Amino acid sequence: MTITPGAAAAAPPFSHVKIRTAALVFCGDEIALIRRERPGGDHYSVPGGNVEDGESLPEALRRELAEELALDTDRAEGGELLWVIDQRVTRPGPAPSPRKLHLIHRLRIGGDVRADLATEECDELPDGTHDVGAIEWIDYRKTAGLPVYPPVGPALAALPHPRATVADAGLEAFTDGNYTWR
């Protein structure tokens, strides 16, 4: 097989897969979400990010939570995989949209650890500017109607308590047909 320059740019959407690892970090009944202001309204995301080349899944989760929340996962309990979500959504921009598998874990912390965590998360943009998000603690039962990425709000709000087991780790895929970027 011969790869020609520019072939990746001509690839159809969802022709490659990225893995994103993230965590619902509970402190009592509240979870940490990153809130960003967008033209269409506020947008919340579960702390986490893409697994980098050569990185194990636990290493990626540890790195992402350290970067976004200043959380040392050794100070948290749990870490079990709660949900897996398949994303096939066309994103704005020139690059073909990847298919993304979200691995959502659950961690629990106490108030002493929460007091040491970041209050803002800063993403560097391609042009060198930064997109700053506020870390907000929200009662997990109030997430059903929030614009959360990935869209776990309804499943999260349906949990009877923060330690509840789930019957099926596979949540419904989100696609261009049932999800819109904010």
**pLDDT of amino acid 1:** 42
How many angstroms from the chain centroid is the CA of residue 134? 15
How far from each other are the two terminal CA atoms of the chain, in whole angstroms?
39
Supply the DSSP string of 2-44, one letter for each residue.
-PPTTTTTTSPTTSSEEEEEEEEEEETTEEEEEEE--TTS-EE
- Domain ranges, ordered by start, for the chain: 24-175
**pLDDT of amino acid 94:** 76
Answer whether 139's CB lies under 8 Å from 52's CB.
no
CATH architecture for the domain at 24-175:
Alpha-Beta Complex (3.90)
pLDDT averaged over 10-residue windows placed end to end, the chain, 182 residues:
49 84 98 91 94 96 97 97 94 81 98 97 85 95 95 96 94 89 68
Nearest-5° Cα angle at 49, 45 to 53:
170
Bridge partner residues of 19 (DSSP): 101
